[in-house]
Structures are given as C-alpha cells and as structure tokens.
Amino acid sequence: AQRVTQPEKLLSVFKGAPVELKCNYSYSGSPELFWYVQYSRQRLQLLLRHISRESIKGFTADLNKGETSFHLKKPFAQEEDSAMYYCALSGPGATNKLIFGTGTLLAVQP
C-alpha cells in the first residue's frame, strides 16, 4: 500500500541552525514526491517536487530510493520558515492523486 510517514510531529530549532524534516514512503514503483507547506493562516501550497530538483526558499530535498526517503533540508533556518510541512507522493496513472503524510510542525526560535 502507498504510505507516507513523517515521524516528527514537531521540530523545534534555533534561527541559523540546520533543519531536516524527515519523510519516508512506501510504494512499489517509481513515485513522484512533493513537499507542501502551510504557513499560519495561509493555504496549503506546493514547496517543491523531486522531479524539478530545485531549491525553493533555501530548501532542498533529494529522493533516496534505496532508503525510500525524501527528507527536506535547509542549512540555516529562518524564523519565517516556521510552518506546517507535509510530504506527499503521487503514483503513476491518470488520477494524480496525492497521498499525504501527517505533517511536521517546524518552529524556528529566535
């Protein structure tokens, strides 16, 4: 079965510290992986997708098929990074349905 696991409900770091939000997935095939972010009082929005291999707001994520992981990383956290982060996967097929993890709340302390 397709599943996305985010083991941490809360991650608290100090400003300037490195951040790693963990995401592991279960999928028999080649999934597409995404990170979505929800800032306070804002809508859920796409942060980045693995196929783009991009860096958004200093965040990167590398798909590791051997470890079935897609961890989100940033070398130096900023207070404005505080938000809820969701990892999601999409399998092949026409539906484009996303399976989401339970989310990790990142709190960046001053």
Partner 1 sequence: GAGVSQSPSNKVTEKGKDVELRCDPISGHTALYWYRQRLGQGLEFLIYFQGNSAPDKSGLPSDRFSAERTGESVSTLTIQRTQQEDSAVYLCASSLVRNGYTFGSGTRLTVV
Residues that bind partner 1 (CB under 8 A): 4, 32, 34, 36, 43-46, 49, 86, 88, 90, 94-103
Radius of gyration of the CA atoms of the chain, in A: 13
Phi-psi region of 47 (alpha: psi -120 to 50; beta: other; left: phi over 0): alpha
Nearer to partner 1, 35 or 77 (CB): 35
Rounded Cα gap, residues 57 and 74, in angstroms: 9
Nearer to partner 1, 52 or 64 (CB): 52
Query: Taking the complex as a whole, how short is the minimal distance between the CB of residue 95 and partner 1, in angstroms?
Result: 5
Query: Taking the complex as a whole, how short is the minimal distance between the CB of residue 75 and partner 1, in angstroms?
Result: 27
Query: Taking the complex as a whole, how short is the minimal distance between the CB of residue 53 and partner 1, in angstroms?
Result: 14
Nearer to partner 1, 30 or 94 (CB): 94
Within 1-110, strands assigned E span 3-5, 10-14, 19-21, 24-26, 32-38, 45-49, 60-61, 72-74, 83-90, 98-100, 104-109
Nearer to partner 1, 49 or 71 (CB): 49
